[in-house]
A and B are shown apart, each in its own frame.
Chain A
Amino acid sequence: MPTIILNGDPYAIDGDLRLVSLLERLNTRQGRIAVEINLEIVPKGNYPATIIKPGDNVEIINFVGGG
């Protein structure tokens, strides 16, 4: 099964995956997160056109409590 690295861990995907589908699957809201694929930030406007491919390294971050 093809996988990507999602936030440091292997994550199985069926094949090429739309970024918006992944975000939906993870129940994240676009206004709360930022995405990096293979160390490149994905601007919000590019989300609809972004395709994640097997082997990609995907980071999705949000804000948590901190000082």
Chain B
Amino acid sequence: MKDASEIKDASEVKDTFDLGGKSFKSRLIVGTGKYKDFAETRAAVEESGAEIVTVAVRRVNITDRGKENLLDYLDPKRYQILPNTAGCFTAEEAIRTCRLAREVGVGDLVKLEVIGDNQTLFPDVVATIEAARVLVKEGFKVMPYITDDPVTCLRLQEIGCVAVMPLAAPIGSGLGIRNPFNLAIIIEQAKVPVIVDAGVGTASDAAEAMELGCDGVLMNTAIAGAKDPIAMARAMKLAVEAGRLAYRAGRIERKLYATASSPLTGLIG
């Protein structure tokens, strides 16, 4: 008889992904916005198992001198800090923000987002491409938040972005994956990691993204906005792991009719 432990399965094989020359185990990237305080931010990030965390770039508070700093809670030696360009509506603003972010000294990985419309927060595709071109030339490792459009994702890869980050649904909407077929095309064509960024509402959305074959999922509101952010952080960690493993395990084909699971021979009578 063969022992169960002799059977090696996909979950035992090392499964990391590379981003801008660095290797990561966790495929969940989390944002740090909308938390009650820095202590809750840190607790949620820890529970999520994320190794990469996004942060925003803002003016230092001049009047409140005693203010704590986010990096006091999230050690840049432990976490890969991923500054974003949230709030930028032009390529120039986004480029300026990235240059400042890099000068803080946490590396040259940036999440590029150039917003085209205030209500949907959909990206300005033209401005994103324009900014990506400049930033890549300046040595940044650019991860652009972008519409779930396969051709745009191809263009961003050609420019030299280290990943593409198509949205699942509008930022903070929690609508889940609105266009799995476009994402499937993007994943199939991609030569760089595909990270689904924005729109995830709950664990099943994250699992679905991973089952499609994405390399990772980036989320903020789905965790920070949950009634219990710490529990949701853990749920997301498990969902991303489960979805990834299901993808690697290879799901069965969908069929219209039933196929019996039990033998059709040896029936009684």
Contact = CB atoms under 8 A, between A and B. Distances in A.
Given A32-B69, A41-B100, A63 B83 contact: yes
Contacts of A9: 62
Interface string A41-67: 111100000000000000111111111
Interface residues of A, number: 29
B109 to A, nearest CB: 13
A5 B242 CA distance: 52
Contacts of A59: 59, 100
A67 B82 CA distance: 9
A63 B55 CA distance: 6
B34 interface: yes
User: Interface size bucket, B side?
Assistant: 35 or more
Most-contacted residue by chain B among A60, A64, A67 (CB, 10 A): A67
Interface of B: 31-35, 38, 41, 54-60, 62, 65-66, 69-71, 81, 83-84, 86, 96, 99-105, 171-172, 198, 218-221
10 contacts: A8-B59, A9-B62, A41-B103, A60-B62, A61-B104, A63-B56, A65-B32, A65-B35, A66-B86, A67-B220
Interface of A: 6-9, 11, 26-29, 31-36, 39, 41-44, 59-67
